[in-house]
Chain A
Amino acid sequence: MATTPNAATPADIPGNSRTLSRRWAGADEIAHLITLIAAGTLLLITVLLVYQLWVLSAEARSKFGWSFFVTKTWDPVVGDFGALTFIYGTIVTSAVALIIAVPLGVGAAIFLAELAPPKLSSSLTFVSDLLAAVPSVIYGLLGVFLLVPIMRTTIQPALKKTLGFLPLFQGPSYGIGFLTAGIVLSIMIVPFVLSVSREVLLSIPRDQREAALALGATKWESTWKVVVPGARIGIFGSVFLALARALGETMAVTMVIGNNPKIAASLFSPGYSIAAVLANEFSEATGNLYLSALIELGLVLFLLTFVLNGLARLLILVTTARGSGVLPT
């Protein structure tokens, strides 16, 4: 167990110690143990989390099995639970969010990494980091009182007029619904796409840009045909990271999605998401089966984000390690 040259020696017998370091020789092992316990606590918490979610959802899992994921009914009175409407809502809102946020975030990252002077770039990154720190309930607040009325009176009628032939943009404009939730989500995840993409772009070696420019490429061509393809995998990583955020986001979505469990082709329709149903119904759940069905939804959400986060980290690591040997912290 001895980790330093000062580890216990016969001179350490109490009363026989001469120097401070000798007297405290065993302290290294104690410090090691204490910090190990702290680190172990984290492991314990995580294992316990998965265990609790698994055990507490046992009733719903054994009763509904895999049909839980393909059934639309959600009827607490009868005790019949299916997650399909919530899974649908979560996927649709996240998809809308990604469609808006990825071009915006990657575009802004290209500007910050390739074009902006270093000082401007770092101050804009600072602002983007602050944006990531804004609590989600604030986004929800603005969503409810600002975005929803605008959607109802302006954006949704305009979309209906121009793109109304698509089933996506049909039906009455309530203001709330999949599209509004997706837009709020997109604003929330842009900073994540931006900061990770920027880091990945910066890790592409400088000579690659210079080589492209020396061959006569314009700045845009060097960026789009050389730098971005090199950073492609890492940018995918940032997208997965943002997707994991979007799937698990609760408050802002709950406040604007409409909280109506139904599946509709129209993005204007009110819907429901996994996180939103947890936020709304968990504290009122009566009966073990109801609670256990909700906890199973939580388990699904956790596993989804677990897989996506793992994948994202792997992709980002692969790109940045290949690019410059510097890993993001």
Chain B
Amino acid sequence: MSFRLAWRKSLNVFMLSLTGLCALLTVSTLFFILGYLVWNGGKDLSWGFFTHLPAPVGEVGGGMANAIVGSMKLLLLASLFGVPIGLLGGVYLAEFGGRTVPFLVRYTADLLNGAPSIVIGIFAYALVVMPMHHFSTLAGGIALAIMVIPTVLRNTESFLRDVPRSLREGSFALGANKWRMIATVVLPAASRGILTGVLLALARVAGETAPLLFTAFGNRFWSPGWNQPTSSLPVVIYTYATGPYEDWHRQAWAAGLVLLGLVLITNILVRAFLTRGTAYERT
């Protein structure tokens, strides 16, 4: 075996193992993050963490009940405003659109999807906080809704497009109108995929901090109604982690574990169950 061949072969093995190492390094990050959070945050998780209000600085104990409820309210608003618009917009792109309008809509959806979340926060501030002159749950919910719309819209469109032509023709042949065909045949057939997209979009905004900083702001107490600043898990993690108190840091770890756990569990369940076995062959 010539020297040249030996060199080429060893280079081959070396570079290929290097790429394997890259993959290993990347993938192990997730397990490392998860393990480190469990190790650091696990011991401070207790029943009180989920049911109590934050304790005053210096006092031991206290929880994040208000942040957890606040996050839920924000997500509820985000789905209430964001999902219907995204869903119907997706139906328009897949079923009705002509040529120019869908192109424009698709393009702006991708644009909005890639916009930094802090810019969305500025927009929601200008749109809601400035006219109302105060921070509110409503403003935070609208900021998150703006982030949900493009994702749901694009995802809905792509799953609707995958519904086979034969199903549509079958429906027409039975005398259905277009809207009946969409509502009773196409949407149910694509429902799993659409639901996947909605849940993943919500899981994504559940962890968003930047757009909430100056819309929902923060609150050490309960936030009644929709018109007052509210606490939320991501913002609390940020405030506590950058704060000066040891107690806060421990709470931040615990809250981080809860947030990461929720996001990862949603992702895993949705991807594992909903994407398996669709009503038709996915290409």
Name A's B-contacting residues (CB within 8 A).
3-4, 6, 19, 21, 24-25, 27-28, 30-32, 34-39, 41-43, 45-46, 48-49, 52-53, 56, 103-108, 110-112, 114-116, 124, 126-131, 133-142, 144-146, 187, 190-191, 194, 218-221, 224, 241, 244, 247-251, 255, 275, 278-279, 282-283, 294-295, 298, 301-302, 305-306, 309-310, 313, 329
- The reply to whether B149 and A298 form a contact with Cβ atoms under 8 Å apart is no
Residues of the A chain whose Cβ atoms lie less than 8 Å from the Cβ of B88: 34-35, 37-39
In the complex, the answer to whether B214 meets A6 with C-beta atoms within 8 Å is no
Known: A39-B89, A298-B122. 10 other contacts (CB 8 A): A36-B92, A48-B127, A53-B123, A104-B25, A111-B20, A124-B27, A135-B208, A138-B259, A141-B252, A255-B238
Question: Smallest CB–CB gap between B153 and chain A, Å?
Answer: 6
B residues engaging A (CB < 8 A)?
8-9, 11-12, 15-16, 18-23, 25-27, 29-30, 33, 36-37, 40, 84-89, 91-93, 95-97, 101-102, 104-105, 108-112, 114-123, 125-127, 135, 146, 149-150, 153, 158, 172, 175-180, 182, 200, 203-204, 206-210, 213-214, 217, 234, 237-238, 241-242, 249, 252-253, 256, 259-260, 263-264, 267-268, 271
Closest 6 CB pairs of A and B: A135-B207, A248-B116, A107-B22, A38-B88, A35-B92, A31-B179
A–B pairs, 26, beta carbons within 8 Å? A4-B172, A21-B175, A31-B179, A31-B182, A32-B96, A46-B108, A49-B115, A108-B27, A115-B19, A134-B33, A135-B263, A137-B238, A137-B241, A141-B256, A142-B36, A144-B241, A220-B15, A248-B117, A250-B118, A250-B209, A250-B210, A251-B210, A255-B238, A305-B114, A305-B115, A329-B158
Contact of A275 among B110, B116, B249 (CB under 8 A): B116
A218 vs B6: C-alpha distance in the bound complex, in angstroms? Answer: 11
Q: How far is the CA of A116 from the CA of B24 in the complex (A)?
A: 12
Contacting residue for A278 out of B20, B26, B122, B242, CB 8 A: B122
Contacts of B158 in A (CB 8 A): 329
Are B175's CB and A140's CB within 8 A? no
Interface Cβ pair total, 8 Å cutoff: 278
**Bound Cα distance from A306 to B119, whole angstroms:** 12
A131-B26, A144-B242 given; A220·B116 CB < 8 A: no
Which A residues lie within 8 Å of B175 (CB)? 19, 21
Tell me the dominant secondary structure on chain A's binding face.
Answer: helix
Q: What does DSSP make chain B's interface, helix, strand, loop or mixed?
A: helix
Q: What is the distance, in angstroms, from B283's C-beta to the closest C-beta of chain A?
A: 9
* Alpha-carbon distance A105/B117, docked complex (angstroms): 23
Given A137-B209, A145-B249, does the pair A41, B15 have CB atoms closer than 8 Å? no
B118 close to A52 (CB less than 8 A): no
In angstroms, how far is the closest chain A Cβ from the Cβ of B277? 16
Q: Which residues of A contact B126 (CB under 8 A)?
A: 52-53, 56, 295
